[in-house]
Structure formats: structure tokens, C-alpha cells
Structure 1
Amino acid sequence: MADNSWLTEFPEMSRSDLLTIRKTLDGAYREFSRNYGETIESFFDPLLQFLIWFEKLLLGTPWWLMIAILAGVSYMASRSWKLAVAVIFSFLAIGYFGMWEDTMRTMSIILVCTMLAIFLGIPIGIAMARSNRVQSMVTPLLDVMQTMPAFVYLIPVVMLLGIGKIPGVIAVVIYAIPPVIRLTNLGIRLVDKEVLEAATAYGASPMQRLFGVQLPLAMPTIMAGINQTIMMALAMVVIASMIGVKGLGQPVLKSITNQYFTLGLINGLAIVALAIIFDRVSQSYAKRSQQHLSGGHNE
């Protein structure tokens, strides 16, 4: 038999030292949350007010008008009547099975989180594309954000801000923002250098090259990042429901704890329907923008 005595010889930190470190860190974080928690909460008050307003707007809009708007947006983005009809039937089914309000709440938080991820992620991706040093600093953070279990970073957020919409938004954005950052960086770096040299030769400034050449050519890749961000935000719906975010996640969580199979299945299918609709619309828009750029280039 193999001698496995070496397994017990690995040096370990003593339990007393480990306990001391844990108590020190826990105490420091509690002290930080007591001193600065209210200040941080007040910083997020405008976002909370916007979330409440946007949710009330979606809930207060008549169902037939909301379906018409969603179908119209789907058609304008994809130029596909089939997708628009699928959107109509999907939301009619959601309303028929009594999930309309939860779906509107989920849509409100997903759309706000996606907008935040875009407004924060694209500038960070641009900064990464323009500087290798920034890329080397941000990439490890993105690796941690993508690999760390969501439950782990929920703990400090809830300890600092309590339970509610804002902690949920922060958790969703942290989980969902890496794809749009990575693919913005990748898309800009993949822009043909000859095209940039031609723009420079015509006297374009760095900002003109960025907004007139790099971002338009990188847009299909950036849209793929936005697509993945939306999918990851929807994947966080159930987890976010654990910290008080209302929507389709709460019935799913209830079905898990009470073993209500049908309730969980129906609400899970509603989340799937939202994911498929958002995926098809964003992908169709990305393809159309790519075809537009290719046609313009050929001309």
C-alpha cells in the first residue's frame, strides 16, 4: 500500500490564528457598514427611485399596449414578423397563466441592470483596448467576478445595504457585466489596423477614430457581449429573489422550498421565454448591424 502519511504533514495555520484573522476582518467590515452604510445607501437613492418608477411604469401600462410595444421593438430590431408574432404569443401565454406582474417586475430589473452594465462596461472595455496596463489590471478582476459563486458576494452586499432592490441590482450587475467588458475590449482590438491607419492618414483624431471607426466596426462583437450580459442577468433572477427582488424568481424559490413542481415549472418557462426573446432580438440586431457595415464597406 502507498504511504499517504505526507498528507497529514502539510503545514496549516493554527485554528487560533485563523479565528483571530476572521474575527478581525468581520469586525472591521461591521464597523465599516455601521459608519458608512447609510452614506452608501443614500448614494444609491436615485437609482432606487428610478427602479421604482420604471417598475410602476411597466405595471401601469395596459397589457395590450405593452405587448404591442414589445412586438414593435422586436420587429424594428430584427425585421422579422415571425419573431414579433412569437413575442405576442409568448406574452399572451404569460398573462394567461397569471405571471404578468412578476414578468414586468423581472423585465424592469433586467433592463435596468443591462443598461447599467452597458454604461459601465463599454467604457471599461474601451480603456482595456487602449491600454495593455489597464487590461492586465482589469482581467484578473473579471476572472474573479465570473468564477466566484454569486452567493459569496451577496454576503457583503446584504450586510452593507440590507435586503431589497439595490442589493439585487448590484449583485446582478457584478455577475453579468464581465461579458460586455471582455467583448468590447476584444472587438476594438480586432479592428483592422490598416483601417485605423487610413483614418489617421485622413487626419482623424483619436476620439474620431474611436467613435467613427473602432466602435462601429466592433459593434457586432459588442452586441454579442450585451447578449451574454442579458442572459447572465436573467440567470441571476432566482438568486436575486433570495435578497428581496420581486419577480419570476420568487415563485421559483417558493416552489423549491415547498416542492411545488408546477409553479416552478411554469415560472421557469416564463424566464426561458424572456431569455429566448432577448437573445433572438439582440442577435438579430447584431446580424443586421454587421450586414449594414459589410454593405457600406463594399460600396
Structure 2
Amino acid sequence: MDFLTTFPSMGRADLAALRRGIDAGFRDFSREWGEAIEAFFHPLLRFLVWFDNLLVNTPWPIILGAIGVLVWAGSRSWLMTLGSVAAFFLIGYFGMWHDTMSTLAIISVATILCVAIGIPLGILMARSNRAQSTITPVLDVMQTIPSFVYLIPVVMLLGIGRVPGLIAVCIYALPPIVRLTNLGIRLVDRDVLEAATAFGASNWQKLWGVQVPLALPNIFAGINQTIMMALAMVVIASMIGVQGLGVPVLRAISNQYLALGIMNGLAIVALAIIFDRVSQRYGQRLQAHRKGQGQ
């Protein structure tokens, strides 16, 4: 038996009218506010384009040197540094340098945005149970809703291009940094907070002098997961005009180019491994440093 025949008060005609009303309302909203929303995101678009052009136009030896310095600063491992530089060299050798730099640009900007938004939200959740109960369902929806669903309103408002793709990446990648920041601050030992209070520390001093420093390993774990989830959106973001390694992968799927798809897929994997290992190693060093200070 059909569900609507069991509950005839809400028939198919009513559902169709409801859908048409929602569609018409959103179209009216996008027509009225679309230009204002585009203007709001225009500075972000300019920064993203500038950063993309900077990476693409910088000579590759300088990029390799900068990657080596950053990997060494994060991991303190010569093996990991040489492996990362070698991976980027091979990416350039096989003709994927331009797409890799574009991917690196959007992942970097998305991570910066997620950190700038996620850490304050995580702190707010840690300091307020009401905020946690309000924000947690939103994070659940962001993590579980299919990305193609929220791409629809984003594309309707902003069209095809880099900013819609960046927003889609941020929606998908934001929850881990928020959750792990909240968890890290809540796991700080109460005895430590009581000791800080006994020394006359204010709430602001306890937050930035005690809780956030002790929560840094969890926060960096959240940044690690945010980067991984942002990289997972590379191919999907390419469907709405984001340049990068996702574009040739999408072209390979459409035209059954096996070699093209595998090579660009392996380049994405190389980026993921480098980001993952470096951020993990930095988090481990940070945790060891905190334990050494505690002793």
C-alpha cells in the first residue's frame, strides 16, 4: 500500500505545490540577493585567483625548495622531506604540475578558511553546552548530506566557478576541526584549570594560556582530517568549474582514459600522503613537547 493513500491529508498535489513554493521562493531569493552574495565573496575570489597564479607562475625550483622547507619544519625528517620533493618533481615530470598547483591553492585556502571558522566554533562549543547542542546537529548534516545536494543552492546563487567549489569544499571539510577543537578543550584536566584559577588567571587567560595550548594535539588532528576531506572533494569540485587535478580525472571518467585517470589520481594520493604524514608528525612532536614541559 502506498504511503500517501494511507495518509490522504497530504496528497501528491499538496507535495507538488510545496516543492513548487520552495523552488519559487529560492529563485526569488537568488534573483534579489544573488548579486550581493557574489559581491560579498568577490574578495575571496580575488585572493584565490592571486594565490593560484602565484603558485602556477613561480618557477618550479623555488616551489620545490619551499615544499622542502615546509616539510622539514613540520616533520624534522630528511627522509620525508626528500620523499615529498621527489613526489612533486615526478608530478612535474609527468606534466601535472599546473593542475597540482591549482589543487594546492584551493586546498590551502579552504584549510585556512576552515581553521579560521572552525577553531572559534569549537571553542564556543567547549565553553557552552547550549552552543554544542545547537551546532552538533548542523555538523552532522554537513558530514552526512550528499555533496551534490548542497551544490544545488550554491550553484544557483553563485553559478559555476572557483568560489562555489571552495564553499562546497569548506562545507564538507569543516566539521572535523570544529569537533576536535571542542573535544581537545573539554579533555583538559580540571585540576590544571583549578590550579590556573588559584593563581588568579581570568577566563580569557585560562582559555589561551592553558586550554588551547593543551588542546593543540587534538586541534592539529582536526586540521589533518580537514585537509584529507578537502582533498577528497577535489574531483567533485571540478564538476562546477574548479581547476585542478579533479578536471583530468573527470575527463578520464567521461572518456575512459585509464592512464590519465590513474596518473592524476596518484598525484592526489601523493598530496594526501604528504599532508597527512607531515601534519601527523608535527602533532606528535607538539604532544611530546607538551609532555616534556609537564614533566
- Shorter-chain TM range is over 0.9
SS in 1 for 2:235: helix
Establish whether residue 256 from structure 1 lines up as the match of residue 276 from structure 2: no
Question: How many Å separate the matches in 1 of 2:40 and 2:61?
Answer: 37
- 1:113 counterpart SS class: helix
Cross-structure match for 2:112:
115
Question: Residues 182-221 of structure 1: matches in 2 within 5 Å?
Answer: 182-221=179-218
Residue by residue, what CA displacement relative to the aligned partner does 1:138-167 show, whole Å, maximum 9, x if unpaired?
Answer: 000000000000000000000000000110
- CA distance 1:165–1:6, change in 2 (3 Å): closer
- Find the aligned partners of 2:226 and 2:214 in 1 and give their Cα distance: 20
Counterpart-to-counterpart distance in 2, 1:257 and 1:126: 44
User: Within the alignment, does 1:21 sit opposite 2:18 as a pair?
Assistant: yes
Q: CA RMSD in A?
A: 1.1
Q: What residue in structure 2 maps to residue 152 of structure 1?
A: 149
Q: In structure 1, give the amino acid aligned to 2:217.
A: P
Distance apart, 1:7 and its partner CA: 7.5
Do structure 1's residue 36 and structure 2's residue 33 form an aligned pair? yes
Where do 5+ consecutive residues of structure 1 fail to align?
Answer: none
Between the aligned residues of both structures, percent identity stands at 62
Please, which of 280, 285, 289 is the counterpart of residue 283 of structure 1? Answer: 280
Q: State the 1:259 CA deviation.
A: 0.6
| AA of the residue aligned to 1:246 | Q
Calculate the TM-score normalised by the size of structure 1: 0.97
CA displacement at 1:33 relative to structure 2: 0.2
Q: 1:6 to 1:23 in 2, by over 3 A?
A: closer
> How far apart in 2 are the matches of 1:190 and 1:155?
38
* Length-normalised TM-score, structure 2: 0.98
Q: 1:81 to 1:10 in 2, by over 3 A?
A: farther
The aligned runs of 1:1-299 (5 Å cut-off) are: 10-11=6-7, 13-298=10-295
Give CA-to-partner distance per residue, 1:238-271, whole Å, 9 cap, x none: 0000000000000000011111111000000000
For residue 71 of structure 1, give the secondary structure of its aligned residue in structure 2.
Answer: helix
SS of residue matched to 2:17 = helix
CA distance in 1, matches of 2:84, 2:68: 6
Q: CA deviation at 1:120?
A: 0.1
What secondary structure is seen at the aligned counterpart in 2 of 1:177?
helix
> Could you tell me how far 1:15 is from its partner in structure 2?
1.2
Distance in structure 1 (CA, Å) of the matches to 2:216 and 2:107: 21
Secondary structure, in 3 states, of the residue corresponding to 1:185?
Answer: helix
Tell me, what secondary structure is at the counterpart of 1:245?
A: coil
Confirm or deny: 8 A CA contact 2:4 2:11 kept in the other structure.
no
* Cα displacement string for residues 89-140 of structure 1 (whole angstroms, at most 9, x for unaligned residues): 1001100110000000000000000000000000000000000000000000
Letter in 2 for 1:41: E
1:9 CA drift (Å): 6.1
The letter of the residue matching 1:29 is F
Q: Could you tell me which runs of 5 or more consecutive residues in structure 2 were left unpaired when the two chains were aligned.
A: none
Deviation at 1:14, TM superposition (A): 1.3
The separation in 1 between residues aligned to 2:11 and 2:64, in whole angstroms, is 61
2-side partners of 1:37 and 1:8: how far apart? 37
The Cα of 1:11 is off from its aligned counterpart by 2.6
3-state SS of 1:247 partner: coil
- Once the two structures are TM-superposed, the CA of residue 10 in structure 1 deviates from its matched residue by 4.0
Deviations 1:159-186 (A, max 9, x none): 0000001100110000000000000000
Change (3 A) 1:18 1:221: same
Give aligned pairs, total: 294
